[in-house]
């Protein structure tokens, strides 16, 4: 017997962020923050240097308030990648922290984008403090 809904996840993005956010050191010794906004196929963690997190959160808050800008993508900071990759697809806002192989988008319902931005904003000081402790 197979559960028809076993791959369905109704958790809100803020719930998933609270369950998955962590600060660690990458292979190069750089403090990074990592979190997911959703689970399931085609989703993955958003990871970026702690040093880019404050600007990233500011960019997300700006987009939540002022809408999605139109632009293209190359090799950018986490905040610039967010600005350049964000899109609204049928009420789901998707965006990436980086481009390239394995870069999975975060996906957030339009109505929850402000809540996600506010939650992440509430973590900036703690993330930066945790990153400093890892140096």
Residue 20's pLDDT band, with cuts at 50, 70 and 90, is: very high
Residue 42's pLDDT band, with cuts at 50, 70 and 90, is: confident
Q: What is the pTM of this model?
A: 0.62
Q: What is the mean pLDDT of the chain?
A: 85
* Residue 119 pLDDT exceeds 70: yes
Per-residue model confidence (pLDDT) at position 91: 92
Which residues fall within 8 angstroms of residue 23, CB to CB, at 6 or more apart?
31, 32, 33, 34, 50, 127, 130, 131, 134
More confidently predicted of 47 and 2? 47
Per-residue model confidence (pLDDT) at position 88: 92
More confidently predicted of 44 and 29? 29
> Rounded to the nearest 5°, which phi and psi values hold at 82?
-55, -50
CA distance to 62, 73, 119, per residue, from 79 (Å): 11, 12, 16
For 58-109, write each residue's pLDDT tens digit: 999 999 998 887 654 456 888 988 888 899 999 999 988 887 667 788 899 9
């Amino acid at each position: 017997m197979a559960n028809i809904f076993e791959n369905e996840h109704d958790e809100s993005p803020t719930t998933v962020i609270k369950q998955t956010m962590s600060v660690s050191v990458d292979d190069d010794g750089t403090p990074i923050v990592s979190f997911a906004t959703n689970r399931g196929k085609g989703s993955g963690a958003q990871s970026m240097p702690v040093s880019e997190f404050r600007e990233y959160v500011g960019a997300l808050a700006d987009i939540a308030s002022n809408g999605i800008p139109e632009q293209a993508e190359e090799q950018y900071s986490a905040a610039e990648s967010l600005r350049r990759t964000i899109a609204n697809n049928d009420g789901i806002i998707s965006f990436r922290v980086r481009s390239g192989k394995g870069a999975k988008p975060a996906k957030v319902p339009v109505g929850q984008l402000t809540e996600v931005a506010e939650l992440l904003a509430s973590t900036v000081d703690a993330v930066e403090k945790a990153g400093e402790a890892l140096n």
